[in-house]
Structure 1
Amino acid sequence: MKEILIATTNKGKVADFKTLLTPLGIIVKSLLDYKDIIDIEETGATFTENAILKAEAISKHFKTNVIADDSGLAIDALQGRPGVYSARYAGFEKNDQANMAKVLEELEGIPTNKRTARFHCVLALAIPNDETKTVEGTCDGIIATSPIGDQGFGYDPIFFLPELGKTMAQLSKEEKNQISHRANAFKQLKGLLESINPGKETSL
């Protein structure tokens, strides 16, 4: 059977990947399934560099197929911040509420038409003894003036989707996995998996 280790301890991300990969018959594991967790320092200047760093290090350590993602929020009015620092924007410890509060404070007084932003996701696929490959996806929106919704995680409650009239945190998992940055990257990943084994059933 097919198995992929998702290089994260974030339960929200694990749930997203299970929703996306399980229908393909892929067994999804994460770092939450292992006692021996290695901490990878994200020293890259871009989402792509960080995703590759994590995927290759964890694939080498566990000797298995690994998907690592690096994703975050880029806000135009903040010159692309928080960007690669999205998870720890308000400080070293990851805190979703503090991160959102900092963003909202920095955008205070900025009109709606200037609050454009996008979620960006890069997925790196590391397979032992093979070259690491990457795909990416984005999702455009507007930063709301206050958090709305209790689904999702991260910046989802302040990421408003004009075409749906909801924030990302107001969407069901099924809705989110149709339009999210990670879902769009996953669509590219499916094509990548098929290219690895042309003419055959997708398999790792």
Structure 2
Amino acid sequence: MPTRLLLATRNSKKLVELQRILDAALGGHRIELVGLNDVPEYQEVPETGLTFGENALLKAREGVAYTGLPTVADDSGIAVDALNGMPGVFSARWAGRHGDDRANLELVLAQTADVPDEHRGASFVCAAALVLPGGKEHLVDGRQSGRLLRAPRGTGGFGYDPVFLADGQTRTNAELSPEEKDAISHRGKAFRALAPVIAKVLPAGATG
């Protein structure tokens, strides 16, 4: 019987992405990943943290408190050098409405329209937290460095993927296959770092 693990998100693409990463990283140790749409609804608190790590832990603690399941949560976004590291923790709601990927992307492009190519550096950043019912917490992070393009390319991925070209790549994150993206992405790096912890603690009962 697979171990049940809650990923505190309603983003179906993120759920598929994490399942794929965990399946590859954990080998024979099967995890049944469920999202917020698969558990009884609860009132989600605002992401008030000033860092990705604070927000990830906030969401993971909340998931455990309401469901009793070991919970993984991540907070991630893009940090644009020319915008002093913003949108950062505000990436998902940069244009004012949470989850409007197109509006967020277009606003960042408009804000950096006059920035020369040599100063269009950017990084995707992800913090991933695992919180167990007994209270133990684990926090890891991952980073993908690159630069911001001037126009979207590709139809894969989500968020800012179509305008992000990672260092050493000739294709944007949105032009990579899911497996290619997982291998180099900020989220892939963070969840691969968390996977050994998941494999170690969950079979023992995940009681913390």
- Band the TM-score falls in, shorter-chain normalisation: over 0.9
Q: In structure 1, give the amino acid aligned to 2:53.
A: T
Aligned residue number for residue 53 of structure 2: 48
Give the TM-score taking structure 1 as reference length.
Answer: 0.92
1:125 to 120, 123, 130: 130
Check 1:171–1:203 CA distance in 2 against 1; reply closer, same or farther (3 A cut): farther
* Whole-angstrom distance in 2 between the partners of 1:11 and 1:37: 18
Which structure 2 residue ranges, 5 or more long, are not aligned?
none
Q: In structure 2, give the amino acid aligned to 1:124.
A: A
Query: Does the CA-based 8 Å contact 1:22-1:28 persist in structure 2?
Result: no
Query: Does the CA-based 8 Å contact 1:8-1:14 persist in structure 2?
Result: yes
Query: Does the CA-based 8 Å contact 2:8-2:63 persist in structure 1?
Result: yes
Q: How many residues align?
A: 201
> Is 1:87 matched with 2:88?
no
* Whole-angstrom distance in 2 between the partners of 1:86 and 1:68: 16
| Structure 1 residues 13-52: aligned runs within 5 Å | 13-23=14-24, 24=26, 25-52=30-57
Aligned residue number for residue 9 of structure 1: 10
* Whole-angstrom distance in 2 between the partners of 1:28 and 1:195: 16
Q: In structure 1, give the amino acid aligned to 2:179.
A: E
Q: In structure 1, give the amino acid aligned to 2:58.
A: L
2:120 to 98, 115, 122: 115
Check 1:203–1:109 CA distance in 2 against 1; reply closer, same or farther (3 A cut): farther
Give the TM-score taking structure 2 as reference length.
Answer: 0.91
Structure 2 residue matching 1:77: 3-state secondary structure = helix
Q: Which moved more, 1:158-167 or 1:111-120?
A: 158-167
Which structure 1 residue ranges, 5 or more long, are not aligned?
none
Structure 2 residue matching 1:48: 3-state secondary structure = helix
* Whole-angstrom distance in 2 between the partners of 1:173 and 1:149: 12
Aligned residue number for residue 106 of structure 2: 101
Check 1:202–1:109 CA distance in 2 against 1; reply closer, same or farther (3 A cut): farther
2:173 to 149, 161, 168: 168
Aligned residue number for residue 150 of structure 2: 145
Query: Does the CA-based 8 Å contact 1:149-1:167 persist in structure 2?
Result: yes
* Whole-angstrom distance in 1 between the partners of 2:205 and 2:157: 29
Q: In structure 1, give the amino acid aligned to 2:82.
A: A
Moved over 4 A (4+): 194-197, 201-204
Aligned residue number for residue 65 of structure 1: 70
Q: Which moved more, 1:144-153 or 1:185-194?
A: 185-194
Q: CA deviation at 1:89?
A: 0.0
